[in-house]
Structure 1
Amino acid sequence: MDAPHLSFKPLEAPNSVPQLTRRNLLAKGACVLAGTALPLPSYLFSEEQQTPSAPIGPVMQTLSTYMAQAATRPLPPAIIEQAKDHILDTFAAMISGSQLPPGRAAIAFAQSYGGKPVASVATSVILCGPLEAALANGVLAHSDETDDSHSPSQSHPGCAVVPAALAVGEQFNISGSHFLRAVTLGYDIGPRFGVTLGGVNYQTETHRDPHATSEGFGAAAAAGCAASLDVRQMRLLLDYASQQSSGFTAWQRDTLHVEKAFVFAGMPARNGVTSALLVQAGWSGVDDVLSGPESFFAAYAPHANPQGLAKNLVGGLGEHYEITRTNIKKWCVGSPIQAPLDAVQLLLNQHSFTPDQVRHVTVKVATREATIVDNRALPDICLQHLVAVMLVQRTLTFRSAHDAALMKDSGILQQRAKVTLIGDEELEKRLPAREATVEILLNDGTVLTQHVDAVRGTAENPMSREEIIAKSRDLIEPVLGPASSKALISAVLQLEQLTDIHTLSRLLRSSS
């Protein structure tokens, strides 16, 4: 199959193979995982073993070349600014997540199994190995429903990509610009794998979780870029990322969100870092895991159209950035509740009524989405509860969305009893677009209706920089304080000026 024409210049001819010697392996710190000067296996230095055993397919050639160039390729100014927004949003999710059960468990784990003191764990004084840091910060970032999401791929890129890039970035002392490029590459590569597999349909048909797979490739790409892997190493990186792709939907049975945070973020972040560091340490592997009879797609998408695979994976690389299709949540709640809250807020802004004047509220969302948020035990993923809170308080903050005590408040319960959730088949057909219709019936018979087809924070209705900063402050200040919050936000917005990523990571950590 032919790869689409791209505008960037390949780093190497298709048949050339970067030479791997004992000298440059040692120079690159090949024993970084072990942390000790262990002798490397002799087969790693055999030129015969370095030669690909089969031809490299055009998709792998294009993809690995693009990935290897990312560390030094300048980004368009608009993409740089969007990357900053998503990094800040992810940091805010990590920091606020430290106050929730999954985040507390992640910090305790990192403290117990610290590894070499190289990388930071947000909101703590912990310095640990990059694998442990990536896992812990990933879980922190998805301790809640606060992080970003990419609807076409059914993935949450930031919660795995940013922790992976940060952990490896600290390992190799990269600059702020390098970090921006690593993160942007992760957003580009991970969602492309998710879309190629089929997104929500892949989950329905296989019971595998597209989040874990997509985010694992994204984290690997970000980590590989932070480690400055070359073209052949990027091919091997994708091999190890493929072997570690995992996760299935049994996490839904864990009502405390801990396993979900691991599957969506901690595991793929750790796996991505593992892939990058193994390859950087000189491990051998398969040069093209994307083609041939025993390939990633033979295992995960055996009936996929080869031309479709090529288009989804490499079409438009360097021209269309997936970070531009990634949503930032306005509300720190489950994704299916975003549109209903937008609708309720619009109605509150447009009409003058009190909760006591409301007789009944009907909320319609896609049938599949309704099952996720219908009368759940956790406040931030319970639609009926959050609509009631919005009616009473006329807004919703991170704190009020997570206040378990409000679920027993008599005033909130009175309003919650008025809310009916309906799974709508017409809205089901419009997935992955998450639309909603809210109808409020007042005591005097007045019917107020609002339909939302573009949730605030999506690519179709993006949040402003000011809104993103305001959301971040709401999440960061209660944990780190106003001064540290201001310093962190300022550093993120000036990432290109940082010569060492440790300047940024220190601002994420607690001072006590």
Structure 2
Amino acid sequence: MKRRDFLRLTAAATTGLALTPARSFAEGPASGPEMTALCDYMSAAKTRALPPDVTEHAKHHILDTLASMISGSELPPGQAAQRYISANAAQGASTVAGTALTASPVEAALANGVMAHADETDDSHSPSRSHPGSSVIPAALALGEGLGIDGAHFLRAVTLGYDVGTRVVMAMGGADFSYESVLSTHSISGTFCASAAAACVAGFDARRMRWVLDYAAQQSSGFIVWRRDVDHIEKGFVFAGMPARNGVTAALLVRADWNGVDDVFSGPDNYFLAYAPKAATAKLVEKLGERYEIAGTDIKKWTVGSPIQGPLDAIFAIRSKQAFEADQVKRVTVRLAPSVAEVVDNRDIPDICLQHMVAVMLLDKTASFHAAHDKPRMQDAAVLKERAKVNLVRDEELAKLLPVRVAIVEIELTDGSRLSERVTAVRGTPRNPMTREEVIDKARDLIAPLVGAEKAKRLIKSVYEIEAVTDIRSLRPLLQRG
């Protein structure tokens, strides 16, 4: 046999061997019951009526996230997002909040996601250790503008996003998985959240929903090296910008007639085998349609990192019972679970540095958005004096209560008296929710300084009357400056 003939036969045999398993896997095993139930639920979400209380929660979270996008546009992560858009993607039909820019749906989702998580004021979901709003709402808005959907459709897509991505991480082990893994639950949940919302915006049937989840799984990434990020830019990308971009990408691929694996959650080499072999897949559909995760998601009263919310609540509560001035304080002891304390212990960024924000709270008797983002103030002599009084204790007993983040604060005054408060339900959590008026007050404070009081008023009204919005693109003038 000539060498040329031998090489031809060898190549043919190798190709055949390579194609055989691919053909087998393309045919795939029968889909699992969880995937079938999940995708049937997702495909019906576009027209499914929501309970009134869930609708109210959804409006709170939409407003809160839009406000965080607008306020985040002026912070370093927001400025970084705008530089990226201006240099690479400043054209398209989707809004970049807080600016006069527009971009393609994929790029607008990325920019708005980074902005939404730029200032630590966005919502958070404790059971999945994620920030759903900052990925879901940028994705649904960006693609929704591209397709011209109405407000009711947008509302339902957003609500669906919260239901899907959070359940993926809860199936993987939730908070326990987060604490044991180097993977970032924030980006995992966010990618599936944004993908589900974008798929609902696109109006896919159940088969296409399967493929969207497949492409979401392939993009699921991110790990906790973001903790080293001192400027919050990488964190904004990992937590929100990347997941929002991934979600829109997954939906657009399927909308362009890409197919995929019918059940990425079961069968050979599935998603959970790769990332969480002990996953409880039944949690993907646990109480689906009964328990809406958007109603179980926190809205922050204070514009700081989640682990600092409880300590600030505690100081506020202590002061409401007994007034005192900062110079009357001898020592402040804050107790948090070790893994929670680690996230906010002496960080270089004001809004995620517990010791700094406690010092600010002692001096200002509140913690404003401006104070939480005033980095030069971290070197102010008066703040440093109060910061030196703060002792953060990593309490193993509180670790047993996770994912509930319990905070205990004790304030010792110079006269020897001791004041203490234990916070088990932070203001804005499902067990201690903010009122509509509180949500509006927070949003107004974030929005009005950038777009003006009148635009802020109209945007708030539009969100709470979202069912009357015939085209989501009509919100653009209210979200942008100039």
In which range does the TM-score fall when normalised by the shorter chain? Answer: over 0.9
227-236 or 373-382, which moves further after superposition?
A: 373-382
CA contact (8 A) 2:29 2:267 kept: no
1:438 is matched with which residue?
A: 409
The correspondence for 1:402, drawn from 358, 373, 376, is: 373
Matches within 5 A, 1:327-476: 327-476=298-447
Q: Which residue of 2 aligns with 1:189?
A: 164
Give 1:165's aligned residue: 140
CA distance in 2, matches of 1:410, 1:115: 43
1:323 is matched with 294
From 447, 459, 462, the equivalent of 1:491 is 462
The AA in structure 2 aligned to 1:326 is T
Q: Distance in 1 between matches of 2:155 and 2:417?
A: 51
Counterpart mapping for 1:216-365 below 5 A: 216-304=191-279, 308-310=280-282, 312-365=283-336
Report how far residue 203 of structure 1 moved: 3.0
Which of these residues, 180, 194, 201, is aligned with residue 155 of structure 2?
180
Q: Secondary structure at the match of 1:330?
A: coil
Q: Secondary structure at 1:55's aligned position in 2?
A: coil
1:52–1:287 CA contact under 8 A, matched in 2:
no
Residues 82, 52 of structure 1: alpha-carbon distance in 2 compared, 3 angstrom cutoff: farther
Is contact 1:59–1:314 with CA below 8 Å preserved after alignment? yes
Query: Within 5 A, what are the aligned runs for 1:59-208?
Result: 59-114=34-89, 116-208=91-183
CA contact (8 A) 2:179 2:339 kept: no
Shift of 1:408: 2.2
Aligned residue type for 2:276: A
Shift of 1:496: 0.4
How much has 1:409 moved relative to structure 2?
A: 2.1
Contact 1:121 1:509 in 2 (8 A): yes
Q: Distance in 2 between matches of 1:177 and 1:295?
A: 35
1: distance between equivalents of 2:272 and 2:217? 9
Aligned equivalents of 1:286, 1:356: Cα separation in 2: 64
Query: Which secondary structure state, in structure 1, belongs to the residue aligned with residue 408 of structure 2?
Result: strand
Question: Residue 24 of structure 1 aligns with which residue?
Answer: none
Kindly tell me: are residues 407 and 77 of structure 1, through their superposed partners in 2, closer, same or farther at Cα, counting changes over 3 Å?
Answer: same
Give the 3-state SS of the residue equivalent to 1:420 in structure 2: strand
2:392 match: secondary structure: strand
Letter in 2 for 1:268: P
* Residues 120 and 506 in structure 1, CA contact (< 8 A), matched pair in contact too: no
Distance of 2:91 and 2:351 partners within structure 1 = 36
Cα distance in 1 for residues equivalent to 2:154 and 2:355: 40
Q: In the alignment, is the contact (CA less than 8 A) between 1:492 and 1:504 conserved in 2?
A: no
Give 3-state SS (helix, strand or coil) of 2:319's partner.
Answer: helix
In the alignment, structure 2 segments of 5+ residues that lack a partner are 1-22
The answer to whether 1:478 aligns with 2:449 is yes
Answer yes or no: is the 8 Å Cα contact 1:121–1:127 preserved in 2.
yes
1:307-337 Cα shifts (integer Å, max 9, x gaps):
x311x11121111101111000000001111
CA deviations on 1:363-386 (whole Å, 9 max, x unpaired) are 111111112211211111111111
Query: Amino acid of the residue matched to residue 244 of structure 2?
Result: A
Do 1:365 and 1:434's aligned partners in 2 also have CA atoms closer than 8 Å?
A: yes
Deviation at 1:503, TM superposition (A): 1.0
Contact 2:91/2:104, CA 8 A, preserved across alignment = yes
Identity of aligned residues (%): 56
Residues 457 and 463 of structure 1 are in contact (CA less than 8 Å); yes or no, is this contact kept in structure 2?
Answer: yes
Q: State the partner residue of 1:10.
A: none
Partner-residue secondary structure (3-state), 2:239: helix
How far off is 1:60 after superposition? 1.0
Matches of 1:346 and 1:204 in 2, distance apart?
30
Deviation at 1:407, TM superposition (A): 1.5
Q: Does residue 509 in structure 1 map to residue 466 in structure 2?
A: no
State the partner residue of 2:12.
none
Q: Which amino acid aligns with 1:75?
A: L
CA offsets per residue over residues 67-117 of structure 1, 9 Å max, x none? 000011111111111100000000111111111111100011112222651
Residue 41 (structure 1) aligns with: none
1:462-492 per-position Cα deviation (integer Å, ceiling 9, x unaligned): 0111111111111111111111111111111
Tell me how far 1:290 sits from its aligned partner: 1.2
Q: Distance between the aligned counterparts of 2:70 and 2:303, measured in 1?
A: 13
Shift of 1:53: 4.4
Deviation at 1:160, TM superposition (A): 0.2
| Superposition TM-score, scaled by structure 2 size | 0.93
SS in 2 for 1:259: helix
> What is the count of residue pairs matched by the alignment?
459
**What is the root-mean-square deviation of aligned Cα atoms in Å?**
1.5
- Asked if the contact 1:332–1:401 (Cα under 8 Å) also holds between the matched residues in 2, the reply is yes
> How far apart in 2 are the matches of 1:185 and 1:280?
18
User: How many angstroms apart in 1 are the aligned matches of 2:181 and 2:378?
Assistant: 35
Question: For residues 112 and 406 of structure 1, what CA distance do their matches in structure 2 show?
Answer: 32
The structure where helix makes up a greater share of residues is 2
- The residue identity in structure 1 corresponding to 2:424 is D
- Which stretches in structure 1 are left out of the alignment for 5+ residues? 1-47
* Separation (CA, whole Å) in 1 of partners of 2:303 and 2:323: 26
2:227–2:343: 8 Å Cα contact kept in structure 1?
no
8 Å CA contact retained: 2:183, 2:221? yes
Alignment check: 8 A CA contact 2:89 2:107 kept: yes
Cα 1:447–1:323 change in 2 (3 A) is same
Shift of 1:201: 2.4
Q: Distance in 2 between matches of 1:53 and 1:292?
A: 8
Check whether the contact 2:335–2:407 (CA below 8 A) recurs between aligned residues: yes
Separation in 1, partners of 2:244, 2:290: 26
